[in-house]
Amino acid sequence: MLYSTIETLKKHQLSITDSRKKILELFIRSKSALAHADIETHSGTEFDRVTIYRTLQTFVEKGIIHTIPTTDNSVRYALCKEDCVSGHHHDDHVHFMCDECGTTYCLDHVTVPKINLPGGFTATQTDLVVSGKCIKCN
């Protein structure tokens, strides 16, 4: 587990620091998406707020995590299995937000269908967010 965080950081030419290791571990352990606030909570007072912001920014730039559009305007980040490790972008799976518990899931096995856009519009990314009740709240 720890090994894979170091591996991932190295793979993206990032220096190995405590905050990066811990934050990346949080993502690997969590099966759902994390908001900045979640990370602040889970890592205790260990890291400065600013460090968390910068770490998340770096991870997004490097393609380790990606942001998820949400209906309630909270930024959430997710690391999505193999895809992320290999640095691909993750515009092909559906996200699910539970209205009850707020948990956000990456439904890696549900793919986003092709959308026919009006003339003059070209797509580079498609995000699909389904809201409702998750498996825990149903």
Partner DNA sequence: TACTGTATTGCAACATTGTTGCAAAATATT
Partner DNA sequence: AATATTTTGCAACAATGTTGCAATACAGTA
State how far the Cα of 96 lies from the Cα of 131, in Å rounded to an integer: 6
User: Which residues would be at the binding site for a second copy (CB under 8 A)?
Assistant: 67, 69-71, 73-75, 94, 96, 99, 107, 109-110, 112-113, 115-135, 138
How many CA atoms within 13 Å lie on the side-chain side of 47? Answer: 23
60 binds, among DNA, a second copy, none (CB under 5 to 8 A by kind): none
125 binds, among DNA, a second copy, none (CB under 5 to 8 A by kind): a second copy
Least gap, CB of 83 to DNA (angstroms): 23
Residues with Cβ within 8 Å of residue 21, at least 6 apart in sequence: 2, 5, 6, 9
Residues with Cβ within 8 Å of residue 49, at least 6 apart in sequence: 40
Interface stretch with DNA, choices 15-23, 24-32, 90-98, 122-130 (CB under 7 A): 15-23
* Phi, psi for 55 (deg, rounded to 5): -65, -45
Our finding on whether 71 is near DNA (CB under 7 A) is no
Least gap, CB of 93 to DNA (angstroms): 23
48 binds, among a second copy, DNA, none (CB under 5 to 8 A by kind): DNA
State how far the Cα of 107 lies from the Cα of 73, in Å rounded to an integer: 20
Q: Which residues bind DNA (CB under 7 A)?
A: 14-20, 36-37, 46-51, 53-55, 57-58, 73, 75
